[in-house]
A and B are shown apart, each in its own frame.
Chain A
Amino acid sequence: MEKFFWIDKKRLKTKTYSELLEDLSNKDYIFNEINFDDPYEFFLDIIFSMINGLQILISKEKNPIKDKKSIKVKKRTFSSLEDVFMKIEENKKDFRLSMFTSGTTGKPKKISHSFNTLARNLKKSDRFSDNIWAFAYKPTHFAGIQVFLQGFFNKNSFIYIFDSNKESIPSILLENKVNSISATPTFFRFILPFFKKENRYLKNITLGGERSEEQLINKIHNIFPDAKIRNIYASTEAGTLFKAEGEIFEISENIKEMIFFTEENELVISKDLLGEFGYEDKWFFTGDIVEKIDENHFRFLHRKSDIINIGGYNVSPHNIEKYLRKFDEILDVRVYGKTNKLIGNLLCAEIKIRDKRMKDDIEKDIYVKMNRDFEKYEIPRLISFVDEIKKTDTGKKVR
């Protein structure tokens, strides 16, 4: 039987590797800005731009740029995946994939990744050739793209489950004999209750995007007793940097010289490890505070900056505050994260308005506009209308 490349039950789409080659051979244009209505098409675009050494941007879903242009490329016929890999090797130096990240100071940054930053941790080997992935990230999530590249270059099969009915996931994994899955801890918190019995097919589990608690790791282990569980540290700025079994991350030899820790134990990484985003200094301060175990090992403690992690997605409260302050009726606003067992943090806002009698109308207006302009995880879910916004002694907002 021919090997499957992509199975997406929700969209009734299955593609074998031959069909992928056929689609690549028939393709002769791409838009300079891509998004994912159909995850298969999204990844087809990424492969196509690697093959042709193109520069493309993953747009913010709610804010696509207006000057979307199509790039025409001469058709090429591919008879094998090796042909595809060869072309990628030839043109990868020109390939750039840009995306937005929530800036620490308020402005979303556009970051441009070369093939080398995206594929830094990619491992190609015969021992990975039988991997069958459950694809559990939003395709536009940085970690999702990395999982995709790892699987694609090892000619693996992908079963797309990111937006599958959660109840059906245990049987999807079994039916397709899925042995590898990479997902956020939040994704696991939501699917685990639907597993009524052990699954021994799963061998590799990678958790990333946010901190995972020991209790969750234990639960995962009980359901997937044969799986090796790894944590991964990656950022949109730098890509995958560290891996861990349990909570302890290891600094590998190849990047040892390119990172250091400040006196207050903030992780600092060299510009050489980053994508390109006009960052001028040699070192990038990540805002992640760690606890050092020994020279080569550490554990993440918390974030230094104000960035709030909502179920694996980073949100800058400053961005949201800046947006809300533009409303005529709003005098002041504080956006903060409230600790939540299910998704890590729930985004909340305290708002001071001119006339409290208007609060219901203002709240309605906020949601109509924010639903139009923001991703769901960037929208405060609990809004309280207050007389004064809490400030610290130095005048900074309490978060």
Chain B
Amino acid sequence: MKEKLRKIINGIKIKNGDEEIEIIRNESRLLEDLGLDSIDLAELTVKIENDFSIDVFEDGIVSTIGEILERLEK
């Protein structure tokens, strides 16, 4: 699941013309460590919802990869 998430994030990174991320960790922060911004996060929510049918931001904004995985595994 983490690998799938990395692929989604890299899809966003490529669109922005940014470098791909090789490793993501549970503690990786979406904004600061992975360099995503508000528009990227909005796209990420839609992509995750398409792939996993879960709205990870339903109860508010999540800030790390670990928090996303936690909500996906609920």
Interface residues of A (CB under 8 A from B): 165-167, 186, 189-190, 192-194, 310-311, 338, 340-343, 346, 367-368, 371, 376-377, 379, 381-382
Bound together, the chains give a CA A194 to CA B42 distance in angstroms of: 18
Q: Are B63 and A340 in contact (CB under 8 A)?
A: no
User: Shortest distance in angstroms between A376's beta carbon and chain B's nearest beta carbon?
Assistant: 6
User: Shortest distance in angstroms between B60's beta carbon and chain A's nearest beta carbon?
Assistant: 6
Q: Are A381 and B42 in contact (CB under 8 A)?
A: yes
User: Shortest distance in angstroms between A122's beta carbon and chain B's nearest beta carbon?
Assistant: 29
Contact for B42 among A166, A192, A340, CB less than 8 A: A340
Bound together, the chains give a CA A343 to CA B46 distance in angstroms of: 12
12 additional A-B pairs beyond A342-B38, A342-B61, beta carbons within 8 Å, are: A165-B32, A167-B29, A167-B63, A189-B61, A190-B31, A190-B38, A190-B41, A193-B61, A340-B45, A346-B39, A377-B39, A381-B15
The number of inter-chain residue pairs (CB within 8 angstroms) is 64
User: Shortest distance in angstroms between A101's beta carbon and chain B's nearest beta carbon?
Assistant: 20
Give 16 pairs: A residue, B residue, CB < 8 Å, sorted on A: A165-B32, A190-B38, A192-B61, A193-B62, A310-B39, A311-B38, A338-B46, A341-B57, A346-B42, A346-B43, A371-B16, A376-B37, A377-B39, A381-B43, A381-B46, A382-B46
Q: Are B16 and A343 in contact (CB under 8 A)?
A: no
Bound together, the chains give a CA A377 to CA B40 distance in angstroms of: 10
Bound together, the chains give a CA A343 to CA B61 distance in angstroms of: 12
Which residues from A are CB-within-8-Å of B62?
193
Contact for B46 among A340, A367, A379, CB less than 8 A: A340
Q: Are A343 and B42 in contact (CB under 8 A)?
A: yes
User: Shortest distance in angstroms between B32's beta carbon and chain A's nearest beta carbon?
Assistant: 5
Interface residues of B (CB under 8 A from A): 14-17, 29, 31-32, 37-39, 41-43, 45-46, 57, 60-63
Query: Which chain B residue shows the least CB distance to A348?
Result: B46
Which residues from A are CB-within-8-Å of B61?
189-190, 192-193, 342
Q: Are A166 and B31 in contact (CB under 8 A)?
A: yes
Which residues from B are CB-within-8-Å of A341?
45, 57
Query: Which chain B residue shows the least CB distance to A381?
Result: B43
The 5 closest A-B pairs by CB, nearest first: A381-B43, A342-B42, A343-B42, A193-B61, A340-B42
Query: Which chain B residue shows the least CB distance to A168?
Result: B32
User: Shortest distance in angstroms between B2's beta carbon and chain A's nearest beta carbon?
Assistant: 22
Which residues from B are CB-within-8-Å of A166?
31-32
User: Shortest distance in angstroms between A211's beta carbon and chain B's nearest beta carbon?
Assistant: 16
Query: Which chain A residue shows the least CB distance to B67?
Result: A193
Which residues from B are CB-within-8-Å of A190?
31, 38, 41, 61
Q: Are B46 and A167 in contact (CB under 8 A)?
A: no
Contact for B17 among A165, A186, A310, A367, CB less than 8 A: A367
Bound together, the chains give a CA A167 to CA B28 distance in angstroms of: 13
Query: Which chain B residue shows the least CB distance to A368?
Result: B17
Q: Are B39 and A376 in contact (CB under 8 A)?
A: yes
User: Shortest distance in angstroms between A72's beta carbon and chain B's nearest beta carbon?
Assistant: 38
Which residues from B are CB-within-8-Å of A382?
43, 46
Which residues from B are CB-within-8-Å of A368?
17
Which residues from B are CB-within-8-Å of A340?
42, 45-46
Q: Are B63 and A186 in contact (CB under 8 A)?
A: no
Which residues from A are CB-within-8-Å of B41?
190, 342
Bound together, the chains give a CA A270 to CA B29 distance in angstroms of: 48
Which residues from A are CB-within-8-Å of B14?
367
Q: Are A342 and B57 in contact (CB under 8 A)?
A: yes
Q: Are B38 and A343 in contact (CB under 8 A)?
A: yes
Which residues from B are CB-within-8-Å of A165?
31-32
Bound together, the chains give a CA A382 to CA B60 distance in angstroms of: 22
Bound together, the chains give a CA A310 to CA B40 distance in angstroms of: 12
The winner among A193, A346, A381 for most chain B CB atoms within 10 A is: A381
Contact for B63 among A194, A346, A381, CB less than 8 A: A194
Bound together, the chains give a CA A368 to CA B14 distance in angstroms of: 10
Query: Which chain B residue shows the least CB distance to A370?
Result: B15
